[in-house]
Chain A
Amino acid sequence: MSAISVTHLGKSFGAVRAVDDLSFTVERGTLTAFLGPNGAGKTTTLRMILGLVTPTDGTAVIGGTAYRDLERPVSTVGAVLEATAFHPGLSARTHLEALRIAAGLEAGRVAHVLEQVDLTGAADRRTKGFSLGMRQRLALASAMLGDPEILILDEPANGLDPAGMRWLRGFLQACVHRGRTVLVSTHVLAEIGQIADQAIIIGGGRLAWQGPLTSRTDLEELYLEVTR
């Protein structure tokens, strides 16, 4: 069974059709790039997969189950949606610890994920003073807490400097090497083109292109062609 299946998914916000009859699948153990212009419906689609936004039509399931019905959601899917979504008065460690307790995960996980994203040194600082890159890494750490099989990341490259970008690339590759499934939305085509197995490109809420990527694919060319 596919890791993620989206079937005839649609969402209207009032008169605006944000996502329209969108269908695609993400296979296990692959890294899938989820691409499209701003306002194409990427974030809305990802939020529907994660049960945060209720679809107007169609379904989005994870291993056949809707996110809201997953028995252990954070151990199945890890998600990074909003890089700035932290309580400014709490430290990174407290933020993670509260999530860990709420999810019923073992005590060692917080230190482990902090180490994974190189944030151990800043763990006890309030997130108020965090740079965008640090927030992205803390968000990734939150997503990794449950040691999930699937990662869904919405523009995790935002605000990363070149070193951070390289780190993220290595991080995602390592995830896939260990058999994880990654669905990542991004605008950084050159980066994602190097590591993605397949791409899903949407425009105006509809599927524009889906297919495998090879070393000979010119992703930028393809993207500009299908989203024109």
Chain B
Amino acid sequence: MNRLIRAELLKVRASRVTWILAALAPVMCVAWAALMVILPGVEGAPPGRRAESVYSMAQQAYVFALLLGVLGMAGENRHRTITWQFLVTPRRERVVGAKLVVHGIVGLLIGALSALVTLGAGLLMLGAAGQQVWSPRAPAILLGSMLAVTLYGTFGVALGALIRNQVAAVAVALMWFMYADYVLISFLPVLGRWLPTGAARALSGMPLQGAELLPVWAGGLLFAGYVAVLVLAARALTLRRDVT
């Protein structure tokens, strides 16, 4: 298992796509954070609330970790390199296991970089706008965002294992987190806290419109549960399929 993880780390490091997406992640976070600085605030909101919403934008790095996870797993099918993988490691679950670990690490690094950059940019922008720059909840929010981005990386791998077609897997991942969850919430707000987006938001402290979120720990567990369900589904449905 250790060997597989090292091999996967090598491939991730050697791929240009990793570095491009990892570099885009903090840029996206800062853009969102800037939006949070200039948006009109809610009347009577507590003074640290704006700083909290600015720092919670560190979670916007999720889409890059998610994409890298999907590409890392489904990309093996797309490029037909999965044949080599399964020749070296006929126990196919181990290949998926190593990818989960590696894309968790990649997600954690992207999440950490994004949290740091969002923090720095947030301090500067809030200060320049004459707003309160800090909130006691800020450290928890930044840490939670990092963990959420980490989990999104593993979610991508699990989804890529279940949906072997890379284009379909990327499309499902993006539709799911950019539209489907929000559409569901707009119809059924009570559902929000139980959806992956709601679970990740609970972890990162980023509010979800119209939905009351779970406690931080429960959100993290629920999201990890979604990943586990996808992995088990892949094991039962697609992992054992013929590689032709």
Contacts and interface: CB of A to CB of B under 8 A. Distances in A.
A104 B7 CA distance: 10
A76 to B, nearest CB: 11
B87 A74 contact: yes
Interface residues of B, number: 28
Nearest to A100: B7
Contacts of B17: 89
A101 B87 contact: no
Interface in A20-77: 43-44, 47, 50-54, 67-70, 73-74
A142 B85 CA distance: 11
Contacts of A155: none
Given A52-B83, A52-B243, A103 B75 contact: no
A104 B244 CA distance: 26
Contacts of A142: 84
Contacts, number: 81
Contacts of A122: none
Contact of A73 (B80, B90, B244): B90
Contacts of A43: 244
Contacts of A50: 87
A53 B10 contact: no
Interface residues on A, range: 20 to 34
B79 A102 contact: no
A51 B90 contact: yes
B84 A85 contact: yes
B137 interface: no
Interface string B148-190: 0000000000000000000000000000000000000000000
Contacts of A70: 90
Contact of B6 (A68, A85, A101): A101
B81 A86 contact: yes
Contacts of A149: none
Nearest to A67: B90
Contacts of A85: 79-81, 83-84
A91 B14 contact: yes
Contact of A53 (B8, B80, B84, B243): B243
Given A53-B243, A102-B4, 7 more contacts: A47-B243, A52-B243, A88-B79, A91-B14, A94-B10, A101-B10, A103-B88
8 contacts: A47-B244, A52-B242, A81-B83, A87-B79, A90-B15, A99-B84, A101-B10, A142-B84
